Amino acid sequence: MASLNILIGGDSFKKIREEQRCYVDKTAFIEEFLAPGQPEVSLITRPRRFGKTLMLTMLQEFFDMRAKERNLFEGLAISQKTQLCDAWMHQYPTLFLTLKGVEGRNYGLALGQMSEVLRSLCIEHAYLLESDTVSPPDKKTFSVLYNGTDAEKNLANALFVLCRALEAHHGKPVILLIDEYDVPINCAEQNGYYEEMVGFMRNMLGAALKTNPSLKFAVLTGCLRIARESLFTGLNNFTCFGISEDFFADKFGFTSGEVDQLLAAINLPGRKKDIQEWYDGYCFGQKRKLYCPWDVLQYIYDLQRNAAAQPKAYWNNTSGNAIVKTLVREASDDSKNKIETLIGGGSINEVLCEELTYDLIYENESNIWSMLYLTGYLTKAETQPDGEETALVIPNKEVRRIFISTVRQWFNETVRKQDLSCFAQALWNGDANAVQAAISDLLYGTISYHDSAENYYHGFLAGLLRGVGLNAQSNDEHGLGRPDIVIEDGRNRQAIIIELKIAEEFTQLEKKASEGLSQILERRYAAGLQPMICTVINYGIAFWKKECAVKVFKSGRL
């Protein structure tokens, strides 16, 4: 098998190119970005793991006048644009910083982390301390930043001073690239210092972007477009390119053709269907069929080691999925129905707000649906309604798994918190009516997810039994077959055997429950119980959507 030299988790364009690692060419972004009408400040929002950092490090290597390695771009799309390269490549002082590590548990720790980010920039440009053209006051501020400071005023002015010093030294305005600009604000909201961090970021970005004559242009990336009145007050030179915009739609994420090229390179074109089902389905602007690049490269990396490797939820493992957990935990009955519709492959219609502030995300369910869309858990459906609403769907199998696992966790937590002792007692008493009522109530109170109907109901009932402290065994061999669930109580010399059935319509429930009970008896499942068991309570339980029917037969050991 041919192989691709993939750098897992790599987001340094220079490292990828110098080490001849696999790189899907997105350099055409540069020409599109530099087209006439380019804004002075651009905010590009995309979900996590869609190549934002790699794109900014690519821009850094292209524009920075300290970089001389033109060979980094050799053979790439932008290298064919010789006039553009002559005018822009390595022509401007460039500052790149990522704020993804500014996530302190309190404001003081966050400022300390911000100080380290800015100090690293100063160390990178230490030559400015010796420059004859940088003013003494700016050298003094630069020196304070270079040596590390948590002083809020110095940190807030740092980017402005750095830009002015760089322009003074190089004689050209500065290109400013800020990656994951919204991470500090997100973490601040989660840890209770939102107002302080928003105030600091407003001051720092305002100085660097609004009142900065040393700025050529700036590009910011993040997951969320924070409302202008919250963070970008008075910034008139600002344009946001979000996931609903057509601009740069195919420059973040892989297209179907790019995935085909990757699979052809490893001689496994037949795995395209798996990748489509698991990692495809995102819609940015009018561009459909976009793949999450993080997942595709992870899976191709695994395929190179094992051609039979199965897809995994790689994206799921990079986040706590707090937004999905909150939606499930606090969902109204209406939202529970919508979650079930989404998991079942359907669409829901919502009025979206694409300008949010982190402190308002959980204010109402409408904002949560908007956040799920902006962060990639939902995407636009192919067919859209007329009017203001947007039809949303889960993009692929991977994200569907995130919803399902979150619902499972929520259900298990809910069961643990409820007093279900009456349900357990009804089971041992053989009270079919009480068992049926308890199961029905729980079905109507939970969120269903039908991987397959039988698997879902089996998992639902097994989780319920665990929640009441019963040690349920599933599909173990007993007698002439494998009953769905067996519970043995050696101390009281009794056992429960349960056989589940799925009805195709409501009117079949009673019949299916009786079939389950007959199967237990015909296949002599009780014969495989421990020798001390004397009493067996046999249950046939049938399900149809959120309805169930229960039949019971109490017997001695058969």
Residue 111 has pLDDT above 80, yes or no: yes
> Considering just the CA atoms, what is the radius of gyration of the chain in Å?
30
What is the model's pLDDT at position 232? Answer: 79
What is the model's pLDDT at position 229? Answer: 64
Give the pLDDT band of residue 61 (cuts 50, 70, 90). very high
* Percentage of residues of the chain with pLDDT beyond 90: 67
Nearest partner of 447 among 316, 313, 329, 548, judged by Cα: 329
What is the model's pLDDT at position 452? Answer: 65
Q: Which residues contact 158 (CB under 8 A, 6 or more apart)?
A: 118, 121, 141, 145, 204
CA distance 101 to 319: 14
Residue 36 has pLDDT above 70, yes or no: yes
CA distance 373 to 384: 15
In residues, how long is the chain?
558
**pLDDT digit string (tens) for 277-320?**
999 999 999 888 899 999 999 999 999 999 999 999 888 755 56
Residue 76 has pLDDT above 80, yes or no: yes
For residue 218, which amino acid is it? A
Give the pLDDT band of residue 380 (cuts 50, 70, 90). very high
Q: What is the pTM of this model?
A: 0.88
Q: Is 51 left (phi over 0), alpha (psi -120 to 50) or beta?
A: left
Tell me the CATH architecture of domain 418-556. Answer: 3-Layer(aba) Sandwich (3.40)
CA distance 424 to 407: 23
Nearest partner of 142 among 155, 150, 203, 557, judged by Cα: 155
- Mean pLDDT value across residues 458-473: 86
What is the model's pLDDT at position 372? Answer: 93
Q: What is the DSSP letter of 286?
A: T
Q: Which of 53-62, 75-84, 206-215, 351-360 has the lowest mean pLDDT?
A: 351-360
**pLDDT digit string (tens) for 501-547?**
999 999 999 999 999 999 999 988 888 888 888 899 999 999 998 99
Residue 475 has pLDDT above 90, yes or no: no
**318-403 CATH fold:** Arc Repressor Mutant, subunit A (1.10.10)
Residue 463 has pLDDT above 70, yes or no: yes
**pLDDT digit string (tens) for 213-261?**
999 999 999 988 877 667 877 777 788 999 999 999 999 999 999 999 9
The domain spans of the chain are 65-91, 93-224, 256-312, 318-403, 418-556
Distance of alpha carbon 488 from its chain centroid, rounded?
42
Better pLDDT: 475 or 541: 541
Within a 13 Å sphere around the CA of 403, how many CA atoms are in the beta-carbon half?
Answer: 27
Q: Which residues pair with 508 in a beta bridge?
A: none
What is the residue-averaged pLDDT of the chain?
A: 91
Give the pLDDT band of residue 327 (cuts 50, 70, 90). confident
What is the model's pLDDT at position 473? Answer: 84
Give the pLDDT band of residue 137 (cuts 50, 70, 90). very high
